[in-house]
């Protein structure tokens, strides 16, 4: 039987964007869980003092913290300098009042969504906000790190870290700030996953599979 394609496909997400998306998702998941544990170490101390429960959890937090820091920097770079300009193109819609109205209306089932790039304007601004939240959580995390580890990277960051600590009115405030930011990620992830699934169903475009395969499968209209 002859095969007739019912859908078109278009590559929207480069392998780098997809890999960093999932690495970032993993890092955030581990950081939220280990971070809450650091904040409230609920496991009962074992008999032996040789078992470092808190130590290992802190270790995982720091390893994934450095992973998130690296990804955050690479992603800022890729946004501006990636050869694929599908993300940058979305900025055109952010500057157009009409595109905002079209997007907001489409969320209420009025009309369709027409985008210049891959993100709608509200979606774009949400990602900008969460990227800056990531930057701040990484900076405050590195300051907390530098206050404990005085050699290597910690030593290198010592001066800036003292300055930032003073700016926040002390390490306790900075730590609270780092803790509050955790909630920004939790709220973001819940809405993000919901919107990704919902918009795939609503617009029949950019479904969740696009960030796995890179392709947007859609009918030609």
User: Can you give the binding site for ligand HEM, defined by CB under 6 A?
Assistant: 28, 31-32, 35-36, 38-39, 58, 61-62, 65-66, 68-69, 137-138, 141-142, 144-145, 175, 178-179, 182, 185
Using the minimum distance from each CB to ligand HEM, give the nearer residue, 38 or 196.
Answer: 38
Is the C-alpha dihedral spanning 159, 162, 168, 174 positive or negative? positive
CA distance 199 to 196: 6
CB of 220 to ligand HEM, least distance (A): 40
Half-sphere exposure of 22 (CA within 13 A, CB side): 13
Residue nearest to ligand HEM (CB): 141
CB of 58 to ligand HEM, least distance (A): 5
Using the minimum distance from each CB to ligand HEM, give the nearer residue, 66 or 127.
Answer: 66
| Element housing 218 (H / E) | strand 215-218
Using the minimum distance from each CB to ligand HEM, give the nearer residue, 14 or 70.
Answer: 70
- Phi/psi at 11 (nearest 5 deg)? -75, 120
Using the minimum distance from each CB to ligand HEM, give the nearer residue, 53 or 110.
Answer: 53
Per-residue DSSP letter, 42:
-
CB of 12 to ligand HEM, least distance (A): 26
CB of 176 to ligand HEM, least distance (A): 7
Q: Where are the alpha helices (DSSP H) in 42-107?
A: 53-81, 86-89, 91-94, 97-107
């Amino acid at each position: 039987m002859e095969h007739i394609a019912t859908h078109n496909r278009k590559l929207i997400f480069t392998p780098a964007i997809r890999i960093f998306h999932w690495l970032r998702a993993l890092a955030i998941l581990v950081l939220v869980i280990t971070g809450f544990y650091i904040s409230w170490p609920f496991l009962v101390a074992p008999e032996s003092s040789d078992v470092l429960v808190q130590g290992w959890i802190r270790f995982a937090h720091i390893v994934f913290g450095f992973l998130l820091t690296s990804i955050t920097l690479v992603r800022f770079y890729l946004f501006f300098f990636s050869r694929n300009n599908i993300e940058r193109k979305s900025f055109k819609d952010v500057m157009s009042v009409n595109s905002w109205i079209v997007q907001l209306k489409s969320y209420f089932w009025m009309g369709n969504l027409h985008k210049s790039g891959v993100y709608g304007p509200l979606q774009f601004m949400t990602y900008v906000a969460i990227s800056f939240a990531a930057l701040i959580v990484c900076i405050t995390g590195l300051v907390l790190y530098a206050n404990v580890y005085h050699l290597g990277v910690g030593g290198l960051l010592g001066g800036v870290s003292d300055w930032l600590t003073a700016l926040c009115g002390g390490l306790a405030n900075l730590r609270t700030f780092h803790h509050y930011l955790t909630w920004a990620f939790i709220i973001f992830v819940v809405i993000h996953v919901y919107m990704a699934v919902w918009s795939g169903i609503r617009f029949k475009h950019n479904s969740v599979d696009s960030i796995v395969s890179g392709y947007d499968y859609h009918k030609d209209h």
